[in-house]
Amino acid sequence: MMTVWCASLSLQAAELDTLKSVELQEVEVKATRATKKTPMAFTNMDKEQLKAVNFGQDIPFLLSLTPSVTMTSDAGNGIGYTSLRVRGTDPSRINITANGIPMNDAESAQLYWVNMGDFASSVQSMQIQRGVGTSTNGAGAFGATLNMQTENIGMEPYFGVDLSGGSYYSHKETLRFGTGLMKGHWGIQGRLSNIGSKGYLDRASTKLNSYFVQAGWFGDNTVVKFITFNGVEETYHAWNYTSKYEQSLYGRTYNSCGEYYDADGNTRYYDDQTDNYHQQNYQLIWNQRLGQVLSLNAALHYTKGKGYYEEYKRKRTLFEYELDPQMTWAVSDLVRQKKMDNDFYGAVASLVYDNHENLQATFGGGWNKYEGDHFGLVKWVKAPVTPIQPNSPYYFDKTKKTDFNVYGKVTYDLLSGLNAFVDLQYRHVGIKMDGPTDEIDWDIYERIVYDMKQSYDFFNPKFGLNYDITPNHKAYISYAIAHKEPTRNNFQNNLNAAMELPKAERLNDLEVGYKYQSKVFSAGANLYWMDYKDQFVLTGEIDKIGEAITRNVDKSYRLGVELEAAVKPVDWFRWDINATWSKNRVKGITVVLDDGNVADLGDQPLAFSPDWIANNIFTFNYKGMKASIQSQYVSKQYLTNTGFESYRTLDDNDKPVDVGMMLDGHFTTNIDLSYNFKLPKLGLKDATIGVTLYNLFSAEYDNNGWAAPAYTKENGNVVATGQGTHDLYEAGFAPSAPFNVMAHLSVNF
98: Cβ–Cβ under 8 A, 6 or more apart, which residues?
148, 149, 150, 283
431: Cα within 13 Å, side-chain hemisphere: 21
Alpha-carbon gap, residue 110 to 597, rounded angstroms: 34
Alpha-carbon gap, residue 627 to 92, rounded angstroms: 35
**Is the C-alpha dihedral spanning 197, 200, 205, 207 positive or negative?**
negative
Fold of 22-748: Maltoporin; Chain A (2.40.170)
pTM of the model: 0.93
- The per-residue pLDDT for 499 is 64
Alpha-carbon gap, residue 257 to 461, rounded angstroms: 46
Please, are residues 659 and 731 in contact by the beta-carbon 8 Å criterion? yes
- The per-residue pLDDT for 4 is 40
Please, are residues 608 and 662 in contact by the beta-carbon 8 Å criterion? no
**Is the C-alpha dihedral spanning 689, 695, 698, 701 positive or negative?**
negative
- The per-residue pLDDT for 493 is 76
Q: Which residue in 622, 646, 650 sits closest to 636, CA to CA?
A: 646
61 secondary structure, DSSP code: H
Beta bridge partners of 666: 634
- The per-residue pLDDT for 8 is 45
Helix (H) or strand (E) segment spanning residue 675: strand 666-679
**Is the C-alpha dihedral spanning 151, 156, 157, 163 positive or negative?**
negative
List per-block mean pLDDT (blocks of 10 residues) for the chain, which spans 749 residues: 42 50 71 92 96 96 97 97 94 94 94 96 97 90 93 94 98 97 94 98 98 96 97 97 96 97 96 98 96 95 98 96 91 97 98 95 97 97 90 96 97 96 97 93 88 95 97 97 92 68 95 97 98 82 54 94 98 98 95 92 96 98 97 97 96 93 98 95 92 98 94 94 91 97 97
